[in-house]
Amino acid sequence: MGVVRQPWTPGEAAAAAAAAAAATAVAGMPVAAVAAAGTLGGVAAARVATVPARRLGNRWEFGQACAFLCSEQASYLTGQNILIDGGAYPGTF
């Protein structure tokens, strides 16, 4: 019979999850694309190239969306996913 491994400790689980996330994607990009970009500036430029708006959102834009969602005008919205991604989501409705 083989050795039975005990469940992971919280620290081991967190480390494994972080390693898996880092190996899968960086800033929403596949690791191969990040490696090809080379530098942090290259990673940012490669990410921007994938966004139809051809730029990243800024704090003001994200803040305005949050303010709207917390406002009386959004009181009838329930259970929605609001994408603030410059059109980057590849799906359709």
| Per-residue pLDDT reduced to its tens digit, 32-82 | 666 666 677 777 788 888 889 999 899 999 999 999 999 999 999 998 888
Q: Taking the CB of residue 37, how many other CB atoms lie within 10 A of it?
A: 19
Domain that holds residue 29: 14-50
Same domain, 63 and 44: no
Looking at the 3D structure of the chain, how many domains does it have? 2
Same domain, 46 and 64: no
Rounded Cα distance, 65 and 29, in Å: 24
Same domain, 81 and 66: yes
More confident residue, 53 or 20: 53
Looking at residue 66, its pLDDT comes to: 92
Query: Could you give the 3-state DSSP secondary structure of residue 59?
Result: helix
Same domain, 62 and 93: yes
4 lies in some domain: no
